[in-house]
Amino acid sequence: MALFTPLRRWQPAFRPFGRLPVGGRLLAFVERAVKGPLFGCRMCGNCLLQETAFICHMACPKGIRNGPCGGVTNGYCYVDPTRKCAWHLIYERSERMHREKKLLEVLPPVDWDRAGGETWGDVIRKVREAGPGNIILHSRRKGMTMGAVMEEKVFRPIRQPEWWQGDAEYHPPAVDGPQSELEKELHSGRFVFTTEVMPPLSAATDRLTEKINLLKPYVAAINFTDGSSAVPKMSSAACSTIAASLGADPVMQISARDNNRNSLQSQAIGANAIGVHNILCLSGDSPRVGPKPRSNMNIIDVDSVQMLWILRRMRDEGIYLDGREIRNRPRLFLGAAAAPLIQKPELQLIRDIKKVNAGAQFLQTNLVFDPDSLDPWLERLRSVGLPDRVFVLIGVSPLKSLRLARYLNDHIPGVTIPDRIMKRLADAGNGFAEESIRITVENIRRLRDKGGVHGVHIMPLGWESVVPQIIEQALS
């Protein structure tokens, strides 16, 4: 265990992809020898220790640089439940050091060209560029501490390279008018319904088409999951294409787990070409929860916050991550997931603000079975003005069986089914389906009355046939 990073290192340190010059090799050797025992450093070559309260975030199995992810369970990592979540530890120490604000900055993905190399050389080069004398003068003239000047002139330019330029500011969408039918509907001020269809396990599309046709008249948009629970199925892109061809407005989910920065950008451009404009950016479940043999569990290339940042800039600034210009910019309405009840409220708020600042225009939450439990979260969103910047859709679900209810309650992070609901379901006997639908309708009606809630996202979990009935009853 490293001295300053209270976590075992997940995997060995990275090695450079090519031979470094002698000076670089020497510096990398020393850096590794010092930062290994102190921070469990993996030599990612893109050090963020300054921003992460000196806990190496590369101890996170997903390598998430804007964490935590939505899987954290009671402060522990769901990929390896024997370890605390690296990002929870980062938040707790940042709080003690009064550095929480640093966590709001949208941090860049790893520049893999630099992995395995040194980072101290950057500091030396930046100090030289700025001029040590100028740094001292700047501090005296502006009345800034040396630490603040070093942050402005040296550390920030290192961690926010030209090709990224991340910050902690909100960037309103720089586009005219709604980019999709879902966005248009949300702007109308009506209470919006979206739903979700699980992509088929086979290449047959008849059931999928049937479900889309059934749901289309009732909802503003239909989500298609992207290998949820790390299980291969028909791709979200294929399902979204079919939905668009049938006249529905699809929400294409893209999971960072299965996409690197290149495929993410290609997918976004491709989606536009086939009439898909809503994209929901997710980090994705770890392969650890999926079937065997498992795929790479070590690291993901971009996290959901970075995905939003990249796609927003493609739309608003017309640039790819590598700086190439996009002549016909993609029309995108960007969304993200939220888990209101999963972790420390303050940490969740940082996460929500960060996603909205990066580009999220709508949030779809995980499943909520007790609408009143959301009040503190909604109040926190209001306190920072988020309802003016993002549409909030709360996840609800009709439970098909008591077994499913128990499974969700016991195994899905952030999902709690109150005892009174469990009791109603358990006592329902032959009237289970009607009682389950009644509970869902009641919850939707209570959510409609809450300020800052713009609609619900119905996740039928394979029970799509009851969605029209639920919506009709909720609106009656």
284 contributes a contact to ligand SF4 by CB under 6 A:
no
As measured in angstroms, the least distance from the Cβ of 427 to ligand SF4 is 36
For residues 54-93, which are near ligand SF4 according to CB under 6 A? 60-62, 64, 67-69, 71-72, 77-79, 85-87
Count of residues that bind ligand SF4 according to CB under 6 A: 15
User: Please, what is the minimum distance in Å from the beta carbon of residue 67 to ligand SF4?
Assistant: 4
- Cβ 127 to ligand SF4 shortest distance, Å: 33
Shortest distance, position 268 Cβ to ligand SF4, whole Å: 24
Radius of gyration of the chain (CA): 23
- Tell me how far, at minimum, the Cβ of 187 lies from ligand SF4, in Å: 33
Q: Which is nearer to ligand SF4, 86 or 459 (CB)?
A: 86
Give 287 or 330: the residue with its C-beta nearer to ligand SF4.
Answer: 287
Phi, psi of 248 (to 5 degrees): -90, 160
> In b/e form, how buried is each residue of 193-220, taking b as 16+ CB within 10 angstroms?
bbbbbbbbeeeeeeebeebbeebbebbb
CA distances from residue 106 to 100, 119, 120, 310, 398 in whole angstroms, order as listed: 13, 20, 22, 11, 36
DSSP character string of 243-271: HHHTT--EEEEEEGGG--HHHHHHHHHHH
- Give the residue with the Cβ less far from ligand SF4, 69 or 441: 69
Rank residues 230 and 456 by Cβ distance to ligand SF4 and give the closer one. 230
Nearest-approach distance from CB 75 to ligand SF4, in angstroms: 9
Residues in region 90-129 near ligand SF4 by CB under 6 A: none
| Between 62 and 233, CB nearer to ligand SF4 | 62
Span 250-269, contacts to ligand SF4 by CB under 6 A = none
Give the separation between CA 465 and CA 214, rounded to whole angstroms. 8
Residue 458: φ, ψ to 5°: -90, 120
Angle between helices 345-358 and 304-316 (to 10 degrees): 30
CB of 285 to ligand SF4, least distance (A): 10
The residue (of 95 and 370) whose beta carbon lies closer to ligand SF4 is: 95
Dump strand ranges (E) for 274-399.
278-282, 333-338, 362-367, 391-396
Tokens of 377: 């979260």
d(CA 219, CA 245): 16
In the complex, least distance from residue 74 CB atom to ligand SF4, rounded to whole angstroms: 11
Dihedral, 350, 193, 254, 392 alpha carbons, nearest 10 = -10
Per-residue tokens: 159: 């961690």
Provide the CA 411 distance to its chain's centre, in angstroms: 20
Helix, coil or strand: residue 448: helix
Minimum separation from the CB atom of position 408 to ligand SF4 (A): 19
- Min. distance of Cβ 286 from ligand SF4 in angstroms? 6
Residues 354 to 383: which contact ligand SF4 by CB under 6 A? none
Nearer to ligand SF4, 69 or 471 (CB): 69
392 three-class SS: strand
Cβ contact 279:76 at 8 Å: no
d(CA 224, CA 280): 9
Torsion angle, CA of 33/36/42/48, rounded to 10 degrees?
Answer: -100
Please say which residue, 87 or 193, places its beta carbon nearer to ligand SF4. 87
CB under 8 Å to 394, separation ≥6 — which residues? 365, 368, 371, 374, 447, 453, 455, 456, 457
Shortest Cβ 370–ligand SF4 spacing (Å): 24
Distance CA 134, CA 79 (A): 47
**x/- map, 316-355, ligand SF4, by CB under 6 A:** ----------------------------------------
The residue among 60 and 332 lying less far from ligand SF4, judged by its C-beta, is 60
The pair of structure tokens assigned to 71 is 């899987």
**Residue 22 to residue 366: CA distance in whole angstroms:** 51
Question: Nearer Cβ to ligand SF4, position 54 or 120?
Answer: 54
- 352 closest CA partner among 340, 334, 368, 341: 340
**Which CB sits closer to ligand SF4, 62 or 457?**
62
Taking the complex as a whole, how short is the minimal distance between the CB of residue 59 and ligand SF4, in angstroms? 7
* Token pair belonging to 331: 């029309």
Looking at the Cβ atoms of 61 and 414, the one nearer to ligand SF4 is 61
Q: Which residues would be at the binding site for ligand SF4 (CB under 6 A)?
A: 60-62, 64, 67-69, 71-72, 77-79, 85-87
